[in-house]
Chain A
Amino acid sequence: MSHQSDLIAENILAYLDQHERKELLRFITCGSVDDGKSTLIGRLLFDSKMIYEDQLAQLEAESKVHGTTGGGFDPALVTDGLKAEREQGITIDVAYRYFSTSKRKFIIADTPGHEQYTRNMATGASTADLAIILIDARYGVLTQTKRHSFIVSLLGIRHVVVTVNKMDLVGYSQERFDEICSDYRDFVSRLDLPDLHFIPIAALHGENVVDPSVNMPWYGGSTLMNFLESVYIGSDRNLEDFRLPVQMVNRPNLDFRGFCGTVASGIIRQGDQIMVLPSKRISKVERIVTQDGDLKEAFCPQSITIVLEDEVDCSRGDMIVRPGNVPKISNSFDATIVWMGSDAMVPGKTYLFKHTTQTVTGQVDSLKYRVDVNTLHRTPAPDLQLNEIGRCAVTLSQPIYFDPYRRNRGTGAFIIIDRMSNTTVGAGMISDRDSAKHTSAAWEITDEQSETGHRSVSDVTEAERTARFGQKAATVLFTGLTGTGKSTIARAVERALFDDGRAVAVLDGELMRRGVNVDLGYTVEDRSENLRRSAHVAKLINDNGLICLGAFVAPSQSVRERVADVIGKDRFITVHCTARESVCRQRDTKGHYAAAEAGKLPNFPGVSAVYEPPEEPDLVLDTGDLSVDECVSAVLELLKANEIIR
Chain B
Amino acid sequence: MNSYNLTHLKQLEAESIHIIREVAAEFKKPVMLYSVGKDSAVMTHLALKAFYPAKPPFPFLHVDTTWKFKEMIQFRDNYVKNELGIELIVHINHEGLKLGIDPGENSEKHTEVMKTDSLKKALNLHGFDAAFGGARRDEEKSRAKERVFSFRDKFHRWDPKNQRPELWNLYNSRVNPNESIRVFPLSNWTELDVWQYIYLDKIPIPDLYFAKLLPVVQRNGTLIHLNDDRLKLRPGEVVENKMVRFRTLGCYPLTGAVESTATTLPEIIQEMLLTKTSERQGRVIDQDGGGAGMELKKTQGYF
Shortest beta-carbon distance, A119 to chain B, in Å? 6
Is the CB–CB distance between A16 and B196 below 8 Å? yes
Note all chain A residues with C-beta closer than 8 A to B142.
Answer: 81-82
Determine which of A5, A24, A305, A427 lies in contact with B8 in the assembled complex, contact meaning CB atoms within 8 Å: A24
Q: Report the nearest B residue to A356, measured CB to CB.
A: B170
Is the CB–CB distance between A81 and B273 below 8 Å? no
A424 in the interface, Cβ–Cβ < 8 Å?
Answer: yes
Is the CB–CB distance between A16 and B269 below 8 Å? yes
Is the CB–CB distance between B266 and A16 below 8 Å? yes
A308 in the interface, Cβ–Cβ < 8 Å?
Answer: no
B101 in the interface, Cβ–Cβ < 8 Å?
Answer: no
B80 in the interface, Cβ–Cβ < 8 Å?
Answer: no
Is the CB–CB distance between B14 and A303 below 8 Å? yes
Q: Report the nearest B residue to A84, measured CB to CB.
A: B161
Is the CB–CB distance between A23 and B7 below 8 Å? yes
B1-56, CB < 8 A from A:
3-15, 17-18, 21-22, 24-25, 48-55
Given A13-B266, A96-B144, A234-B5, decide whether A52 and B274 contact each other with a Cβ distance below 8 A. no
A93 in the interface, Cβ–Cβ < 8 Å?
Answer: yes
Is the CB–CB distance between A1 and B276 below 8 Å? yes
Is the CB–CB distance between A58 and B281 below 8 Å? no
Determine which of B9, B51, B188 lies in contact with A98 in the assembled complex, contact meaning CB atoms within 8 Å: B188
Shortest beta-carbon distance, B302 to chain A, in Å? 16
Q: Which of A173-181, A410-418, A465-473 contacts B (4 or more CB under 8 A)?
A: A410-418
Is the CB–CB distance between B170 and A299 below 8 Å? no
Determine which of A96, A290, A355, A357 lies in contact with B188 in the assembled complex, contact meaning CB atoms within 8 Å: A96
Is the CB–CB distance between A122 and B167 below 8 Å? yes
Shortest beta-carbon distance, B2 to chain A, in Å? 9
Determine which of A126, A247, A252, A301 lies in contact with B167 in the assembled complex, contact meaning CB atoms within 8 Å: A126
Is the CB–CB distance between A54 and B49 below 8 Å? no
Determine which of A15, A54, A340, A423 lies in contact with B277 in the assembled complex, contact meaning CB atoms within 8 Å: A54
Note all chain B residues with C-beta closer than 8 A to A107.
Answer: 188
Q: Report the nearest A residue to B276, measured CB to CB.
A: A53
A239 in the interface, Cβ–Cβ < 8 Å?
Answer: yes
| 1/0 contact string of B252-282 vs chain A (CB within 8 Å) | 0000000000000011011001111110010
Shortest beta-carbon distance, B296 to chain A, in Å? 8
Is the CB–CB distance between A8 and B7 below 8 Å? no
Q: How far is the CA of A123 from the CA of B196 in the complex (A)?
A: 29
Shortest beta-carbon distance, B6 to chain A, in Å? 7
Note all chain B residues with C-beta closer than 8 A to A22.
Answer: 7-8
Is the CB–CB distance between B165 and A427 below 8 Å? yes
B154-198, CB < 8 A from A:
160-161, 163-170, 172, 174-176, 187-188, 190, 192-193, 196
Determine which of B3, B48, B270 lies in contact with A234 in the assembled complex, contact meaning CB atoms within 8 Å: B3
B228-260, CB < 8 A from A:
none
Note all chain B residues with C-beta closer than 8 A to A256.
Answer: 53-54
Number of contacts between A and B (CB, 8 Å)?
Answer: 194
B94 in the interface, Cβ–Cβ < 8 Å?
Answer: no
Is the CB–CB distance between A12 and B269 below 8 Å? yes
Interface range, B side: 35 or more
- Chain A interface residue count, CB cutoff 8 Å, equals 82
Note all chain A residues with C-beta closer than 8 A to B81.
Answer: none
Is the CB–CB distance between B292 and A83 below 8 Å? yes
Shortest beta-carbon distance, B60 to chain A, in Å? 18
Note all chain B residues with C-beta closer than 8 A to A55.
Answer: 278
Is the CB–CB distance between B174 and A417 below 8 Å? yes
Is the CB–CB distance between B54 and A252 below 8 Å? yes
Is the CB–CB distance between B167 and A303 below 8 Å? no
Note all chain B residues with C-beta closer than 8 A to A94.
Answer: 145
Q: Report the nearest A residue to B264, measured CB to CB.
A: A12
Note all chain A residues with C-beta closer than 8 A to B165.
Answer: 119-120, 122-123, 340, 415, 424, 427
Note all chain B residues with C-beta closer than 8 A to A100.
Answer: 190, 192
Shortest beta-carbon distance, A421 to chain B, in Å? 9
A584 in the interface, Cβ–Cβ < 8 Å?
Answer: no
A446 in the interface, Cβ–Cβ < 8 Å?
Answer: no
B199 in the interface, Cβ–Cβ < 8 Å?
Answer: yes
Is the CB–CB distance between B4 and A239 below 8 Å? yes
Note all chain B residues with C-beta closer than 8 A to A104.
Answer: 8
Determine which of A82, A262, A267, A414 lies in contact with B145 in the assembled complex, contact meaning CB atoms within 8 Å: A82
Is the CB–CB distance between B170 and A302 below 8 Å? no
Q: Report the nearest A residue to B16, measured CB to CB.
A: A303
B141 in the interface, Cβ–Cβ < 8 Å?
Answer: yes
| 1/0 contact string of A285-315 vs chain B (CB within 8 Å) | 0000111100000010111010000000000
Q: How far is the CA of A133 from the CA of B5 in the complex (A)?
A: 27
Note all chain B residues with C-beta closer than 8 A to A414.
Answer: 170
B295 in the interface, Cβ–Cβ < 8 Å?
Answer: yes
Q: Report the nearest A residue to B138, measured CB to CB.
A: A98
Shortest beta-carbon distance, A255 to chain B, in Å? 10
Note all chain A residues with C-beta closer than 8 A to B48.
Answer: 291
Given A52-B276, A252-B54, A415-B172, decide whether A301 and B8 contact each other with a Cβ distance below 8 A. no
Q: How far is the CA of A409 from the CA of B190 in the complex (A)?
A: 26
12 further A-B pairs in the complex, CB-CB below 8 A; given A62-B291, A262-B18, A291-B49: A8-B274, A23-B8, A80-B141, A105-B8, A256-B54, A291-B53, A301-B11, A303-B15, A303-B21, A303-B50, A305-B52, A422-B175
The 5 A-B pairs at the shortest CB distance, nearest first, are namely: A252-B54, A24-B8, A83-B292, A303-B17, A422-B174
Could you write out 10 A-B pairs with CB less than 8 Å apart? A1-B276, A53-B277, A82-B145, A96-B145, A96-B188, A107-B188, A127-B168, A247-B22, A290-B52, A299-B4
